[in-house]
Amino acid sequence: MSQTLDKQQTQLKLDQLNEALSSGTFVQVRRMLNSLSPPNIAALLESSPPKNRAVLWQLVDKEKEAEIITWLNDELQSQFLKDIDPDRLAEMTDELDDDDIADILQNLPDAVIEEVLSSMSEQDRQRVEQMLSHDEDTAGGLMNTDTITIHPRVTLDVVLRYLRMHKELPPTTDCVFVVNNDDQLVGLLPIAKILTTDPAVSVREVMVTDLQPIRADMPATEVAQLFERYDWITAPVVDDNGKLLGRITVDDVIDVIIDEADHSLMSMAGITEEEDVFAPTLKVVPLRSVWLGINLVTAFMASWVVGQFEGTIQKVVALAVLMPIVAGMGGVAGTQTLTIVIRGLALGQITRHNSGWLLGREMLVGLINGLLWAALVGMVSTWWFDDTKLGFVIAGAMVINMLVAASAGAFLPLLMKRMKIDPALAGGVILTTFTDCMGFFAFLGLATWFYL
């Protein structure tokens, strides 16, 4: 209930701010804008047309800029950062965590990155450079180097006094990491253990050793699966030698999950997830045109298949009326299977050991659904056109196309995954083209056989 109320209040503030911006009362806009939290300011910027964004950014208090930048998408980050002086960038990075700094720097030209890094202290620069050395879509790119480490030989009393020496603990700290003299991870010590166990007990006696550290080169999607499976709040990241490099927190993993879902959804429409909702027209047109061009080519392929049966269509005009039914039903059946398979791949549930069973199951589902709906469509078509032969033709074509569509919906993403291609790309054009061509070919081919 309280979360809903907070959302309503935030939305009301955003609406009031937009009204004030439209009226041109910039003093009121500045006051209202800077009363919002950085995430809400970032949401407002992303929800505003380009001209309004520029005005709003100029009205943001300088001390809030750094945190707001971290909440923006990559495209908006790049737009705002390119106009900021390197010295100011260096000042902004002093207020941020290492992982946020690395994310920002990755959107800047190499020359600017060097300037910002050179202005940092030696220790901070080394930590950020270490993070920049990892791909952003890996555990090393997600991790934060802000960790608390202890040695196994000390007592819990010493650990507690050591923690009290800190002004504050790193956000989302649910445990401290236990390392040996070579900084290799040997265990975890939950905060709850420190508070509920005899202070005279050593860390070695109560630390958790049954742990699964994350390798720095592990893909971010696999990291997200581990967090979901084990309900982790934080997890350590190590190098090939087991040396502790940093930690990943659940808030970073949530970002990965959202980005992955966004990527899958946009890819199925042939759009990149970086595309800005309010991007200028001339920037959007080229991005969309490429996929539309590909779609046009595949549409001609389907038209070519239909053209091969021109004589049949001229003799049996009813075929032109019923063709979209066969193709449409196949497209829906294929998309249902495709969605299930892509979701299974994203969750890591589908492997080479069980993919064969899944393919067989989907083919059986396609066959049964094909038979059921073919019977209905066949009867309706027979009654509509008073042609029993036509009913059998469309029923046979529907069974064939739905069986093929289910098979393609399962097989295409598996094949693309094996070829290191994003399976989501199979959703838009490839599967639709496949089901359309097969539907037209089956329907018109059977019609030619029966009527000519």
CATH code of residue 62: 1.25.60.10
pLDDT reported for residue 295: 76
pLDDT reported for residue 2: 43
The CATH number of whichever domain residue 386 belongs to comes to: 1.10.357.20
Distance of alpha carbon 78 from the chain centroid:
20
Note whether residue 262 is domain-resident: no
Instruction: Please report how many Cα atoms fall inside a 13 Å half-sphere around the Cα of residue 218, on the Cβ side.
Output: 23
pLDDT reported for residue 268: 60
**pLDDT tens per residue across span 29-55:** 788 888 888 888 888 888 787 877 888
Same domain, 121 and 155: no
Q: Which of 119, 142, 165 is the last residue of a domain?
A: 142
Same domain, 45 and 128: yes
Same domain, 90 and 187: no
User: What would the two tokens of residue 379 be?
Assistant: 């009867």
For the chain, give the mean pLDDT.
Answer: 84
Q: 302, 303, 298, 278: which is closest to 425 by C-alpha? A: 298
Q: Collect the ranges in the chain with pLDDT lower than 70.
A: 1-25, 95, 263-279, 287, 425-428
Same domain, 335 and 218: no
d(CA 390, CA 376): 13
**Torsion on CA atoms 203, 209, 212, 213, rounded to nearest 10:** 40
Same domain, 59 and 156: no
Residue 363 near residue 371 (C-beta atoms within 8 A): no
Note whether residue 96 is domain-resident: yes
Note whether residue 200 is domain-resident: yes
Q: Which of 113, 142, 171 is the last residue of a domain?
A: 142
Same domain, 437 and 319: yes
Give one DSSP letter per residue of 102-130, joined into a string: HHHHTTS-HHHHHHHHHTS-HHHHHHHHH
Percent pLDDT > 70 in the chain is 89
Domain count, the chain: 3
Residue 269 near residue 275 (C-beta atoms within 8 A): no
Assign 28 to helix, strand or coil: helix
Same domain, 362 and 425: yes
Note whether residue 7 is domain-resident: no
The CATH number of whichever domain residue 190 belongs to comes to: 3.10.580.10
Note whether residue 355 is domain-resident: yes
Does this model's pTM top 0.85?
A: no
**pLDDT tens per residue across span 132-157:** 888 888 999 899 888 999 999 999 99
pLDDT reported for residue 5: 45
Q: 117, 134, 138: which is closest to 252 by C-alpha? A: 138
Residue 98 near residue 133 (C-beta atoms within 8 A): no
Note whether residue 313 is domain-resident: yes
Same domain, 84 and 176: no
Note whether residue 420 is domain-resident: yes
Whole domain around residue 230: which residue ranges?
Answer: 149-249
pLDDT reported for residue 47: 79
pLDDT reported for residue 125: 80
Same domain, 68 and 127: yes
User: What would the two tokens of residue 170 be?
Assistant: 């790193």
Q: Which of 127, 142, 157 is the last residue of a domain?
A: 142
Note whether residue 274 is domain-resident: no
Same domain, 245 and 136: no
Same domain, 417 and 292: yes
Residue 137 near residue 239 (C-beta atoms within 8 A): no
Same domain, 58 and 174: no
